[in-house]
Structure 1
Amino acid sequence: MTQLNTPVARVSDPGHRPTPPPSVPRRRRPIRGTRRAFWLFVSPFFIGLLIFSIIALFWGFYLSFTRAVATITPTDFVGFDNYVSLLTDPSFLSSLLSFTVFAVLVVPTTLVVSLALAMLVANLPVARAFFRSVFFLPTAFSYVIASLIWKLGIFSGSTSSVANSVLSSLGLPTVDAWLTQSPYYWVVIVSVRLWLQVGFYMLLFIAGLQRIPETLYEAAAIDGLSRGPRRFFAITWPQLRPTTAAVMLLLLVAAFQAFDEFYNLVRTIPSVRPPLLYIYNLSFQQLDYGKGSAGAFVVTAIVVLVALLQSRFFGFGAADETKAPRRGARKGRAS
């Protein structure tokens, strides 16, 4: 039997091409001029941030330790006298009380209404995008414009105003002093804030509802947990705990920043002044920049303290399944 001798290609054969080594990707060099273009576009923002935020912040902190009346270049250093005078001022303590009342009224109301709207819109079979847009649209309005609408059109006190027309149609007595009599002015202030911000927090709750796995509801249905309050408190509410904590924090910070509606609606009532309105009157009407700066930093400290306490008791990751277990739990499992 004849064997066919097949020639084996060798490296020395002229027709054989050796396999090239794997190519190593080269590092791309940055295009010339990109760094210069980056600083060209970003430098205006950094300059504005440096002048109007960072330098202003440190200068305001320095002013809070000086006697700066009708001047921003004081030379009289007074230490903590501005802080002591502020914390013992009955007007400032009254502004903190006004904020407390406002926060107690607006925070739970906005939380409940926005969550209810989120659940209604999320369960709609059709036109979800339309209703999301409708409820979110008031967020684009200015607080000043909304306050003027509430003051001149809805709660003006005249018989033709919207609020008095509704009351008269229900057979209830009308109110002539919505903006000057307690507790009616709280209805005006809370309602305008509720109308302006409830759509934004509704979208946050809708995003939280979309993160809940459908398998939880399917398992609950198999176990006989039908739709209703039991299903909400057993599945929906625990899964929404991080979103609820974030919404509560944002609502508290927004309540501390309340200014426009108070200034345009009830600024003539000294007993209804939030901290920012008190600081505004102190700094720009009495021209006491030192004490006004001290008030700004006191309010900032209160906001930080409230945020830390809120995060401590309602932590953001409380319902996060991917959260790492504690050390004590690991030791217990290991043992």
Structure 2
Amino acid sequence: MLSRLLGPQRRYLWFWVFTGPFVIGLAVFAYIPLLWSIGLSFFDAHNTVTPTHFVGFANYGSMLSDTAFTSSLATFAVFSLFIVPATYALSLALALMVNRLRFARAFFRSVFFLPTACSYVVASMIWKLSVFNGVRFGLANTVLGWFGADPAAWLSTTRPPWYWVVIVTVRLWLQAGFYLVLFLAGLQRIPGTLYEAAAVDGARPGWQVFRHITFPQLRATSVAVLLLLVINAFQAFDEFYNLLSTARGYPPYARPPLVYLYYVALGQGQDLGLGSAGAVILALIIAVVTVVQARWFGLGRKEA
């Protein structure tokens, strides 16, 4: 067995030396916990990770009939309705502007990409304590005061739900730069001869060229960006939890699936079986949505 892994003349020895630790780490910290979580979803696992009472699909039935869980899915739908098109449009617009620069392109690309290196927790606390903290001297309320408007309690007002402004803006600031880089890579792959041919045919620079040449050439990049945006929206946790939770707990509104599952599995009930079932359901929903979206946009389809 060992000789097969190493290959003739131990050809693959250094391959396993360098990749072995990463494979072991991936198995220990990703694959084994994933399989263990799937197993827990079929047991009554209150306050234990080694349950013995098998309940079958009872946990799945409880989660699907739980109005709080379905409400969290509705929260995701609202969040994705805001964040997906906003991030797509902003990152594409920034990429188009940066791509047109004749100098300092690398500088502006780095400036816009830099927020992606910031922690979601840190960014959420900055938004919560400095920008949208709800007091008169917060940055957002200071700007409103310049126009004679009253201060807004951004994170504690449900009518109107100003907290969506806080959540969406912090996510936009954090992730727009990453998708900007993807769009820049797509823009740089467009042959310049297409634009030259369009100019010869009398196409007007600007919207007409973008609509008929640039945007169609970015089809594959756009599909990949939209897939990543939807998946990331399903996985939203840090900004919701750190922006809306207080010393009294998390409010009943704007609770996405991962925040709800966090309280189910690690809250007072410590129901790891129920939380694992919810996590499996969420993973299946993400997989189905991703496949349907990929088929809808024709991801991987050969060009005619």
TM over 0.5, shorter chain = yes
The equivalent of 1:114 in structure 2 is 91
2:298 aligned residue (315, 318, 324): 315
More displaced stretch, 225-234 vs 274-283: 225-234
Aligned residues: 291
CA distance in 1, matches of 2:262, 2:217: 41
The equivalent of 1:4 in structure 2 is none
Q: Report Cα offsets for 1:58-95 as digits up to 9, x if no partner.
A: 22111101111011111111111100100110110110
Residue type of the alignment partner of 1:266: L
CA distance in 1, matches of 2:31, 2:182: 31
The equivalent of 2:251 in structure 1 is 269
The root-mean-square deviation of aligned C-alpha atoms, in Å, is 1.7
Deviation at 1:231, TM superposition (A): 1.5
Deviation at 1:174, TM superposition (A): 2.2
1:289 aligned residue (248, 260, 272): 272
Q: Report Cα offsets for 1:155-180 as digits up to 9, x if no partner.
A: 011111110111111233321x1111
The equivalent of 1:21 in structure 2 is none
* DSSP-derived class of the 1:77 partner: coil
The equivalent of 2:288 in structure 1 is 305
Deviation at 1:38, TM superposition (A): 4.2
The equivalent of 1:179 in structure 2 is 155
Q: Report Cα offsets for 1:91-126 as digits up to 9, x if no partner.
A: 101100111100000000000000000000100121
Inter-CA distance 210–74: structure 2 relative to 1 (3 Å threshold): same
1:99 aligned residue (67, 76, 81): 76
Query: Do the aligned partners of 1:147 and 1:264 also contact (CA within 8 Å) in 2?
Result: yes
CA distance in 2, matches of 1:324, 1:139: 33
Query: Do the aligned partners of 1:243 and 1:316 also contact (CA within 8 Å) in 2?
Result: no
CA distance in 1, matches of 2:198, 2:126: 47
In the TM superposition, 1:202-241 aligns within 5 A as 202-241=180-219
Q: Report Cα offsets for 1:247-275 as digits up to 9, x if no partner.
A: 00010111111110011011321221111
Query: Do the aligned partners of 1:95 and 1:273 also contact (CA within 8 Å) in 2?
Result: yes
Deviation at 1:48, TM superposition (A): 2.2
Q: Report Cα offsets for 1:170-222 as digits up to 9, x if no partner.
A: 233321x1111132000000000000000010111111111111111111111
Alignment identity in percent? 55
The equivalent of 2:130 in structure 1 is 153
| Structure with max Cα Rg | 1
CA distance in 2, matches of 1:202, 1:47: 34
* DSSP-derived class of the 2:137 partner: coil
Residue type of the alignment partner of 1:243: T
Inter-CA distance 77–155: structure 2 relative to 1 (3 Å threshold): same
Gaps of 5+ in 1: 1-29, 326-335
2:63 aligned residue (80, 86, 93): 86
Poorly superposed stretches of 4+, deviation over 4 Å: 30-38
* DSSP-derived class of the 1:251 partner: helix
CA distance in 1, matches of 2:25, 2:86: 38
CA distance in 1, matches of 2:12, 2:78: 52
Inter-CA distance 50–241: structure 2 relative to 1 (3 Å threshold): same
1:252 aligned residue (208, 230, 234): 230
CA distance in 1, matches of 2:27, 2:186: 36
More displaced stretch, 308-317 vs 75-84: 308-317
Deviation at 1:31, TM superposition (A): 10
Inter-CA distance 125–43: structure 2 relative to 1 (3 Å threshold): closer
The equivalent of 1:8 in structure 2 is none
* DSSP-derived class of the 1:272 partner: coil
More displaced stretch, 309-318 vs 259-268: 309-318
Gaps of 5+ in 2: 1-6
The equivalent of 2:111 in structure 1 is 134
In the TM superposition, 1:33-52 aligns within 5 A as 35-52=12-29
Query: Do the aligned partners of 1:137 and 1:199 also contact (CA within 8 Å) in 2?
Result: yes
Query: Do the aligned partners of 1:241 and 1:316 also contact (CA within 8 Å) in 2?
Result: no
More displaced stretch, 225-234 vs 108-117: 225-234
Inter-CA distance 223–36: structure 2 relative to 1 (3 Å threshold): closer
CA distance in 1, matches of 2:303, 2:143: 54
Q: Report Cα offsets for 1:36-70 as digits up to 9, x if no partner.
A: 45434433323222222222222211110111101
Query: Do the aligned partners of 1:94 and 1:271 also contact (CA within 8 Å) in 2?
Result: no
* DSSP-derived class of the 1:273 partner: coil
Deviation at 1:290, TM superposition (A): 0.4
